[in-house]
Structure 1
C-alpha cells in the first residue's frame, strides 16, 4: 500500500484521491483547489468525480456566486469508513507506537524514515524503520532483541503489504556513526517520524558530532 494514498488500497481511481482531499479538513474546496492539492488529474476529471460523489450523497455541493464548492457530508452513513481510510497513515503510526511501547527499556528510540515518512511512497516501497537499542537493556539478550526486530518487520508487512526494512544501532554505535557523519542519521533527524522515545534525545546524540564538524 501507499500510506500517502490510503484510498488506493480499495480503489486506484481518481475518486479515492479526491475523497482523501475532502476528508483532510472540515472545509469546502473548489475544483481548482482540489486539483492544486492533488497535482494529478484534470479539472474536468475532478469535476466528474465530484458529480458522482454528490449523486451518492457522500459529498455536498454549494454554490458561492458562480463557483461550486464541495465538502464531505459528515452525516453520511459511509463517512466513518471514509475517514478510517483517510487516516490510515496516523493509524499505522499509532499501532507502531503501541507495539513498541511493549519493548520497555530495551528500546531507546525508534522512527519511521524514508518514503513512508516523506509521503513519496510507491506501491512497492519498503517501510523503513530506525531503531536504537538501549545500552541499559537489562537481561534482554541478543536473541530476544533479534526476535523482536524480526517480529516487528513481519508485523509491518502484515499491516501494510510492504516489506519492513529495519536499520538498528546500539547506543554506542549511534554515537560513533554520528561522529563519522553518517548521512542516514541526518535523514532520520530531518524527516523521521518518531514512534518511540523522544526526538530531543536523538538530536542530542548528533550535536557533539555537529559541533566538531
Structure 2
C-alpha cells in the first residue's frame, strides 16, 4: 500500500493522487492549490490535464471564480463511493486490524501502528510495523498468544500488501523502556497511532519504574 497516498495503490499516477486530494476535502480548490497539496510533486500543467479529464467524465465539478476555476469532487457521481473507499484505505486497514485484535481470546494491552506507515511515509516496499503490548499476566510463550500474533501478522500483510512486522513487549518491558530513556519511546510518543487498547499517551506518560 502507498501509505502517503493510498489511492495510488489502485489508481496509479497523477489521476490517483489528484483524486486522493479531492476526496479528502470539500473545499473548492484551484488547480494550482491542488498541485500544492500533493504529497509528491506534480506540475500545475499535469494536474490541469488530469482535472480536465475528470471534469469531462463528470467525476469532478468545475466552477468559474473570476479568471480561475474551482474544482470539487462530484459526490453525486456513481463513482464517488468507490473513490471515497479508495481514499480511506489506510483507515479501512486499521479498522480490520482492530476488528481482528478485538476478537482475541487473550486480549492485548495495546496495539499501535508505528514507523514510516504511521508517519504516512511508507510505500509498497515498506514494512507495516505494529507494536503489541502483552499483559504482564500472559506468558510470552503462551500458544494462544503466539497464534494470535502470527494470524494478525499474516492477515495484515494480505490486507495491505506490505510485509507486517510485529514488535512485542510486555507492559513491564514498556515501563523498562521508559525508565532507560530508550529512543523508541520518544519515537512512539511522536508517531504511534493507537489501534486498540491503551493509547500511547496512557502507557508512555507513566512514571518510569
TM-score by length of 1: 0.91
1:36-58 per-residue CA deviation (whole Å, 9 max, x = no partner) reads 11151100000000000000000
Please name the residue that 1:49 is paired with. Answer: 50
Q: Secondary structure at the match of 1:208?
A: coil
Show the counterpart of 1:135: 136
Residue 192 of structure 2 is aligned to residue 174 of structure 1: no
Tell me what 1:152 maps to: 152
1:103 corresponding residue in structure 2: 104
In structure 1, the gaps of 5 or more residues are none
Structure 2 unaligned blocks of 5 or more: none
Deviations 1:187-207 (A, max 9, x none): 1121100011122421234x3
Judge conservation of contact 1:105–1:134 (CA < 8 Å) in 2.
no
Question: Could you tell me how far 1:105 is from its partner in structure 2?
Answer: 5.3
Return the alpha-carbon distance in structure 2 between the equivalents of residues 189 and 109 of structure 1: 14
Residues 35 and 44 in structure 2, CA contact (< 8 A), matched pair in contact too:
yes
Q: Number of aligned pairs?
A: 207
> Would the alpha carbon gap of residues 53 and 32 (structure 1) be closer, same or farther in structure 2, given more than 3 Å must change?
same
8 A contact 2:178–2:204 mirrored in 1: no
CA RMSD of aligned residues (A): 1.7
Tell me how far 1:70 sits from its aligned partner.
0.3
Matches within 5 A, 1:6-85: 6-38=6-38, 39-85=40-86
Structure 1: distance between partners of 2:107 and 2:66: 61
User: Which portions of structure 1, spanning 4 or more consecutive aligned residues, are displaced by more than 6 angstroms?
Assistant: none
